[in-house]
Amino acid sequence: MHRRELFRTTAVLGTGFAFRYSAEIPSLDLPADDRHRINKLSAAALAMQRRDWEQGTLAQALLEAGQVDDLIRLTKAAIVQRVPDGRLAVVVEGGPTDPAMGGAAYWLAGQITHDPEIQQAVDGLLEWILHKAPRAPDGTL
């Protein structure tokens, strides 16, 4: 499967089980076939190198699929690849907003774990988006 197709499929599966963000992740009562498919896609996606926007899309899909343990591991992996300006999961330079694709999911991982390292990394990412990211003359990112 082509890597973009894998991420698209994972994201579609995740958004099919969307929920309102809260500190509690609902347990999804899914048929065994659906849960098995989600687990296989997640394992494949977690095993490959990702660009920052792909990491964020995967984080969001894991969040929405209720795979909290995988989300927390993915968030910690994003922290390993952070750069001094606050961006997370930077493997290859991309657009200024690419690292923020997983911002909400990373933030929720910090809320769930109360891990100061995650919370500090998310604060750094927010600082990047709000104050450090390059902008056009009209102020857009």
In this predicted model, what pLDDT tens digit does every residue of 52-71 receive, in sequence order?
A: 888 889 999 888 888 899 99
Task: Return the residue matching tokens 């997983």.
Answer: 102
Are 99 and 89 spatial neighbours (Cβ–Cβ below 8 Å)?
yes
Over residues 78-92, mean pLDDT = 85
pTM of the model as a whole: 0.70
In angstroms, the CA 33 to CA 36 distance is: 5
Between 92 and 88, the more confident residue is 88
In angstroms, the CA 94 to CA 16 distance is: 28
Q: By C-alpha distance, which of 132, 25, 141 is closest to 82?
A: 132
Per residue in 112-140, pLDDT (tens digit) is: 999 999 999 999 999 999 999 999 999 99
Q: How confident is the model at residue 27 (pLDDT cuts 50, 70, 90)?
A: low
Instruction: Indicate if the pLDDT at residue 87 is higher than 70.
Output: yes
Report the pLDDT value the prediction gives residue 19, as an integer from 0 to 100: 38
Report the pLDDT value the prediction gives residue 137, as an integer from 0 to 100: 94
Residue-range domain boundaries for the chain: 51-141
Q: By C-alpha distance, which of 33, 36, 63, 46 is closest to 6?
A: 46
Are 100 and 56 spatial neighbours (Cβ–Cβ below 8 Å)?
yes
